[in-house]
Amino acid sequence: MAQAYYGYLKAGNYPAAWNLLDTSALGYSSYPAFVASFANTRIGAVTFDYIQGGSAAFQVIVTNAKTGASLEYECGATIDSIGINSLNCYSQGAP
């Protein structure tokens, strides 16, 4: 599910990505707010370290569309029957 989520984000298919989320667990208040959070972001390569049971670990390259600066994020996700209910990414800076 995490693979599909980032595939949808890369393709700009925000409705499909939204449908994979447990939005209440992640704290998104609305679909427009979710889409707005990607307004200046481009998702690049996503490399999965593992997908096992209800969890995944991966790296994602994120580029700031305004500045062109890119960073690699280390991410982890947990998934339940509703969807992705935890998604945590970190980096040493911000694009």
Cα 48 to chain center, whole Å? 13
Give me the pLDDT at residue 5, please: 92
Domain spans in the chain, listed from the N-terminal domain onward: 2-90
pLDDT at 25 (0 to 100): 73
* pLDDT score of 80: 87
Instruction: For 13-66, write each residue's pLDDT tens digit.
Output: 999 999 998 877 787 778 998 899 888 999 999 999 998 889 999 999 999 999
Judge: domain 2-90, CATH 3.10.450.50.
yes
- Among 21-30, 49-58, 70-79, 81-90, name the one with the lowest average pLDDT: 21-30
- pLDDT, residue 29, reads 78
CA distances from 35 to 7, 47, 56, 57 (A): 15, 23, 23, 23
